[in-house]
Structure 1
Amino acid sequence: MARSIEACGASSQGVWSDHSLRVCSCARRPPATVASETRRPGRNDMRRMHGPALIRIAVWLAALGTTIAAPAMAQTTTGSIAGIVTDNTKAALPGATVTIRQVETAQSRVIVTDGSGRYRAPALEPGHYNITVELSGFRTAEFSNISLSVGEHAAVDVQLELGGVTERVVVNADAAVVKTKESSIAGLVDQQQIRELPLNGRDFSQLTLLQLGVTASPSTPQAVDRGMGTQVSVAGARPNQISFQVDGADVNTQGNGSPGSAAGGMLGVDTVREFQVLVNNYSAEYGRSSGGIVVAVTRSGTNELSGSAFEFGRDSKFDSRTYFDDPTKPIPPLERNQFGGTLGGPIVRDNTFFFGSYEGLRQTQGLTTIANVPNEATRARADLSAATRPYLLLYPQANGPQSGATAQYIQQVVNPTRENLAVGKLDQNFSAAHSLSLKYAFDKAQVDQPQPIPYWTADTRTKSQNVVGEYKWVLSATLLNDVKVAWNQAFERTASLENRDFAANLLFIPGTRFGTINVTGLNPIGPDTGSPTFVDLKSLQIMDNLTWTRGSHSIKAGVSDTHYMNDQDSSFNFGGVYAFTSVENFVLNRTNTFEAQAPGSSTPRRWRQDLIGLYAQDDWSAARNVTVNLGVRYEFITEPHEVDGKSSALPDLQSSNFVTGGDIFKNPSFRNIAPRTGFAWNITGDGRNVVHGGAGLFFEPILSNIYRAYGNRTPPFYNAINPSNPPFPNPPTSGSSSLLRLDLVDYNLKNPYRVQYNVSFQRELWGRTTATVGYIGA
Structure 2
Amino acid sequence: MKFRRYRLLFLSLGIVFSLFPGNMLLAQSTGSIRGTVSDTTGANIVDATVTATNPSTGLTRTQQTNGDGIFVFPDLPIGSYTLQIAKHGFQTQQREALELLTGQNIALDIKLTVGIQTVSVEVDTDTQQIQTATSEVATTVDQKQMQDLPLNGRNPLQLTALTPGAVLTNTGTESGQQDNTGLSVNGLRATQNNYQLDGSIYVDRFFDSVPILPNPDALQEFTIQAANFSAEFAGAGAVVQLSTRSGTNQLHGSAFEFFRNTVLNAKNYFQSTIPPYKLNQFGGTVGAPIVIPHIYNGKDKTFFFFAAEDMQQRSSPNPISINVPTAAELKGDFSGQSKTIYNPSTGLPYSGNIITTPESPLSAAVAKEYIDPVLANPNTNQQTGNFKSSSNSNVDRTQYLVKVDHAVHANNHLSGRYFYVQDNFQRAFNAPLGFFAENLFRNQSLTLSDTQIFSNTLTGTIYATGSRYARTQIPETPTLHTLQDLGQNLPLGTTVPIFAGVRANISGFVDLFSGGALTQDSTTFEYKAQLVKVLGAHTISFGGGYERTRIDADDFSYTPGDHTFNGSRTQNAAGQGGSAAADFYLGLGSTFFQDNGRKFYLRENRPAIYIQDDWKVTRALTVNAGVRWDPWLPPIDLNESLVGFKAGQQSTVAPGAPVGMVFNGDAGTVPSVFHNNYKAFGPRLGFAYNVAGQGRTVVRGAYGIFYGFPEGLLYQRTDAAQPIDLYLNIPAPPAWDNIYAGFPGGDPFPRAHVPPSQFKTYSFILPVSGGLLNPASKVAYNQNYNLTVEQQLPGNMAMSLAYVGNHAVHIMASRQFNPAVYGPGATIGNENSRRLYPGLGAMELADAYSYELYNSLQLNVTRRVSRDLTLLGNLVWARVTDNTSSGTEGQAGPPNPYNLNSSRGPADFDQAVRVNISANYYLPKFTSSRHWGELANGWQLNMIANLRTGMPYTVTSGTDRSLSGIGNDYADIVPGVSTNRTAGFSRIAEYFNPAAFNPAAIGTFGNTHRNVYRGPGYEDIDASIFKDFFTERRVHGQFRAEGFNILNHTNLNNPVTTVSSKNSVIGTPNSLGTINGSGDPRVFQFGAKILF
Aligned counterparts of 2:174 and 2:717: Cα–Cα separation in 1: 14
Contact 1:444 1:463 in 2 (8 A): yes
In 1, Cα distance between the equivalents of 2:174 and 2:236? 22
Match of 1:559 among 541, 544, 550: 544
Pick the structure with more strand per residue.
Answer: 1
Matched, 1:511 2:492: yes
Deviation (angstroms), 1:245: 1.3
Report the alpha carbon displacement of residue 646 of structure 1 after superposing the two structures with TM: 4.3
Contact 2:394 2:426 in 1 (8 A): yes
Matched ranges for 1:225-304 at <5 A: 227-229=178-180, 231-261=182-212, 266-287=213-234, 289-304=235-250
Residue from 392, 400, 415 that aligns with 1:422: 400
Distance 1:350 1:506, change over 3 A: farther
Q: How does 1:702-717 map to 2 (within 5 A)?
A: 702-711=710-719, 713-717=720-724
CA-to-aligned-CA distance 1:381-420 (integer Å, 9 cap, x gap)? 474612422233333323134778x862335553211101
The residue aligned with 1:162 is 114
Identify the residue that residue 584 of structure 1 maps to in structure 2: 582
Per-residue CA distance 1:413-471 (angstroms, 9 max, x = gap): 53211101100000010101112101100011111112255441232221110000002
Q: Judging changes above 3 Å, is the alpha-carbon distance between structure 1 residues 701 and 97 closer, same or farther for their aligned structure 2 residues?
A: same
Select which of 63, 71, 91 maps to 1:119.
71
Q: Is the 8 Å Cα contact of residues 107 and 132 (structure 2) preserved in structure 1?
A: yes
Do the aligned residues in 1 keep the contact of 2:634 with 2:676 (CA within 8 Å)? Answer: no
> CA 1:668 to 1:515, structure 2 compared with 1: closer, same or farther past 3 Å?
same
Mapped to 1, the partners of 2:739 and 2:560 lie a distance apart of 11
Q: What is the rounded CA distance, in whole Å, between the counterparts of 1:315 and 1:767 in structure 2?
A: 41
Which of the numbers 693, 697, 700 marks the counterpart of 2:705? 697
Equivalent residue for 1:721? 728
In 1, Cα distance between equivalents of 2:25 and 2:488:
61
Alignment correspondent of 1:344: 287
Q: For 1:373, what is the secondary structure of its paired residue?
A: coil
Partner of 1:38: none
Does the C-alpha gap of structure 1 residues 225 and 194 become closer, same or farther in structure 2, counting only changes over 3 Å? closer
CA change 1:84–1:254 in 2 (3 A) is: closer
Q: Are the equivalent residues in 2 in contact too, given 1:454–1:499 (CA < 8 A)?
A: no
**In structure 2, what is the equivalent of residue 682 of structure 1?**
690
| C-alpha spacing 1:776/1:734, structure 2 compared with 1 (3 Å) | farther
Among candidates 317, 320, 324, match of residue 373 of structure 1: 324
| Residue aligning to 2:898 | none
1:649/1:664 contact within 8 Å kept: no
Q: Is 1:477–2:456 an aligned residue pair? A: yes
Q: 1:534 to 1:147 in 2, by over 3 A?
A: same
CA distance in 2, matches of 1:359, 1:147: 28
SS of equivalent residue, structure 2 residue 106? strand
User: Secondary structure of 2:631's partner?
Assistant: strand
C-alpha distance in 1 between matches for 2:732 and 2:789: 63
Conserved 8 A contact 2:53-2:61: yes
- 1:324 is displaced (CA, Å) by 4.7
1:193 aligned residue (135, 141, 145): 145
Going from structure 1 to structure 2, the CA distance change for 1:390 and 1:222 (only over 3 Å counts) comes to farther
Query: 1:361 Cα deviation (Å)?
Result: 0.2
Residue in structure 2 matched with residue 358 of structure 1 by the alignment: 308
One-letter code of the match for 2:428? P
Aligned-pair CA distance for 1:80: 0.7
- 1:672 paired with 2:680, answer yes
State the one-letter code of the partner of 1:385.
E
**483-492 or 631-640: bigger deviation:** 631-640
- Judged with a 3 Å threshold, the aligned counterparts in structure 2 of structure 1 residues 776 and 307 are, in CA distance, closer, same or farther, namely same
Would the aligned equivalents of 2:526 and 2:547 in 1 still touch at CA under 8 Å?
yes
Q: Give the CA deviation at 1:73.
A: 13
Distance in 2, matches of 1:773 and 1:526, equals 50
2:513 aligned with 1:526 = yes
Following superposition, the deviation at residue 498 of structure 1 comes to 2.9
Contact map agreement 2:307 2:402 (CA 8 A) in 1: yes
Closer, same or farther: CA 705–678 of 1 in aligned 2, 3 Å = farther
The answer for the alignment partner of 2:253 in structure 1 is 307
Q: Spell out the pairing of 1:103-114 with structure 2 (5 A cutoff).
A: 103-114=55-66
After alignment, is 492-501 or 739-748 more displaced? Answer: 492-501
Is 1:595–2:596 an aligned residue pair?
no
Q: What is the match of residue 636 of structure 1? A: 631
2:84 aligns to what?
A: 132
Partner of 1:467: 446
- TM-score normalized by structure 2? 0.62
Counterpart Cα distance in 2 of 1:374 and 1:762: 61
Q: Which has the larger radius of gyration?
A: 2
User: Which 4+ runs in 1 deviate beyond 6 A?
Assistant: 69-76, 220-226
- Opposite residue 458 of structure 2, the aligned amino acid is L
Deviation at residue 653 of structure 1 after TM alignment: 5.5
Retained in 2: the 8 A contact 1:698–1:755? yes
Distance 1:108 1:726, change over 3 A: same
Return closer, same or farther for 1:167/1:718 CA change in 2, 3 Å cut-off: closer
Quick check: 1:609 aligned with 2:624? no
2:281 aligned partner, one-letter code:
Q
Equivalent-residue separation in structure 1 for 2:468 and 2:120 (angstroms): 52
Determine if contact 2:208/2:711 at 8 Å carries over to the other structure: no
Give 2:653's aligned residue.
none
Tell me: CA distance 1:622–1:283, structure 2 relative to 1, closer, same or farther (3 Å). Answer: same
Aligned length: 711
Matched AA of 2:210: P
Q: Deviations over 1:607-641 (max 9, x none)?
A: 11111111000000111100001100001233423
Deviations 1:230-284 (A, max 9, x none): 51110000111111111122221234454244xxxx3410011000111111111
Counterpart CA distance in 2 for 1:424 and 1:660 is: 45
Match of 1:743 among 752, 766, 771: 771
Task: Pick one of 544, 556, 559 that aligns with 2:529.
Answer: 544
How large is the RMSD of aligned CA atoms in angstroms? Answer: 2.7
What are the equivalent positions in structure 2 for 1:388-427 lying under 5 Å apart?
Answer: 388-396=363-371, 397-398=374-375, 399-401=378-380, 408-410=386-388, 413-427=391-405
Distance 1:653 1:212, change over 3 A: farther
Instruction: Work out whether 1:755 is the aligned partner of 2:783.
Output: yes
Structure 1 Cα separation of the partners of residues 444 and 718 of structure 2: 28
Find the residue that maps to 2:730 and give its secondary structure.
Answer: coil
Closer/same/farther in 2, CA of residues 274 and 584 from structure 1, 3 Å limit? same
SS for the counterpart of 2:233 is: coil
The answer as to whether partners of 2:80 and 2:97 remain within 8 angstroms in 1 is yes
For the structure 1 residues 169 and 572, does the alpha-carbon distance in structure 2 shift closer, same or farther, using more than 3 Å as the test?
Answer: closer
Deviates more, 1:234-243 or 1:224-233: 224-233
SS of the aligned residue for 1:623 comes to coil
SS in 1 for 2:129: coil
Which residue does the alignment assign to 1:37?
none
Shift of 1:141: 0.6
Kindly tell me: are residues 555 and 143 of structure 1, through their superposed partners in 2, closer, same or farther at Cα, counting changes over 3 Å? Answer: same
TM normalised by structure 1 equals 0.86
Report the Cα distance in structure 1 between the residues aligned to 2:382 and 2:582, rounded to whole angstroms: 14
Q: Which residue of 1 aligns with 2:622?
A: 627
CA distance in 2, matches of 1:295, 1:55: 31
**Contact 1:73 / 1:480 at 8 angstroms: preserved in 2?**
no
Write the letter of the residue equivalent to 2:386: Q
Amino acid corresponding to residue 787 of structure 2 in structure 1: V
Distance 1:418 1:740, change over 3 A: same
Contact 1:73–1:547 (CA<8 Å) still a contact in 2? Answer: no
Pairing of 1:413-452 with structure 2 (within 5 A) = 413-452=391-430
Percent identity over paired residues? 26
List runs of 5+ in structure 1 lacking aligned partners.
Answer: 1-49
Q: Deviations over 1:721-757 (max 9, x none)?
A: 1224311212236658863524101122111111000
